[in-house]
Amino acid sequence: MPAEIRVFPCLQDNIGALVRDPATGACAAIDAPEEGPILKALEEAGWRLTDILVTHRHRDHVEGIEGLKRRFGCRVVAPAKAAGEVPGMDETVREGDTVRVGALSAEVWETPGHCRDHIAYWFAEDGALFAGDTIFTLGCGRVMESTFEEMWTSLSRFARLPDAARVYSGHDYTISNARFALAADPDNAALKARAAEAERAKAEGRFLIPSTIGEEKATNPFLRAGDPAVARAVGKEGAEPGAVFQALREWKNRF
């Protein structure tokens, strides 16, 4: 049976997600940015939390863990590279491990770049990627502890997923990301349409998460670092995509 997935806002701009296996009732929160909205989402759906799958150790992704664990006694799975830095951690995982949520299963991908311990959870059978702060709708995370090269490798790996793969990211920065994307890739018609869609969604109190890999490949400048038009926009015509990516990310930091 396919996974049931719900997404909802937490804190200032974080996105909470619940993934449930309808066959067994097992239900995982992807990160725990804030206890209240997660409880509310569980209550609305009539679901019971059994697991928390942590993508990385940053405070705004783990703050809700202790309260939820006290209430539900749920299992906390976190990156091995964040060992000792995630509250309530029960199990650590690394590249190539499989995490089960009832009968659902996710591959663990180490995706360093935003931080050294970052991992993503790829539910292959459901075509759902929980990408944390590695990729966002129309953007990507700041490169804070790893190299630009590592971040580019992580993003390139996402780009090889099927176009229909759904991407659940850890924040909704879509409107500001769209502004930057339009500056970096001004002649991209698909991007213009998507930026307009993002504005409409915001006006209606919605957000564009999940996105799909196909949509991101067509409109996210950070996945389009191999496109000559994007390379030209950062003055890196003919350069390796990794170098174009770095120039884009540095520009976005100043934008």
Q: Exposure of 73 by Cβ count < 10 A (0-12 exposed, 13-18 middle, 19+ buried)?
A: exposed
Residue 133 interacts with Zn ion (CB under 5 A): yes or no: yes
Residue 118 interacts with Zn ion (CB under 5 A): yes or no: no
Residue 57 interacts with Zn ion (CB under 5 A): yes or no: no
Nearest to residue 248, comparing CAs of 222, 229, 223?
A: 222
Q: Give the alpha-carbon dihedral of 124, 126, 127, 128, to 10 degrees.
A: -100
By rule CB under 5 A, what count of residues binds Zn ion? 2
Near Zn ion by CB under 5 A, which window of 15-23, 57-65, 66-74, 198-206? 57-65
Shortest Å distance, C-beta 60 to Zn ion: 7
> Using CB under 5 A, which of 57, 58, 81, 249 touches Zn ion?
58
Token pair of 86, please? 């995630």
Of 111 and 246, which has the nearer Cβ to Zn ion?
Answer: 111
Of 133 and 216, which has the nearer Cβ to Zn ion?
Answer: 133
Q: Is 28 left (phi over 0), alpha (psi -120 to 50) or beta?
A: beta
What residues are paired with 122 via a beta bridge? 107, 129
CA dist., res. 203 & res. 206, Å (int): 8
Of 6 and 142, which has the nearer Cβ to Zn ion?
Answer: 142
Tell me if 234 sits within 8 A of 251, measured CB to CB: yes
Of 3 and 167, which has the nearer Cβ to Zn ion?
Answer: 167
Query: Of all residues in this chain, which one has the CB nearest to Zn ion in the complex?
Result: 58
H-run or E-run covering 104: strand 104-110
Near Zn ion by CB under 5 A, which window of 2-10, 58-66, 189-197, 243-251? 58-66
Shortest Å distance, C-beta 144 to Zn ion: 8
**Site of interaction with Zn ion (CB under 5 A):** 58, 133
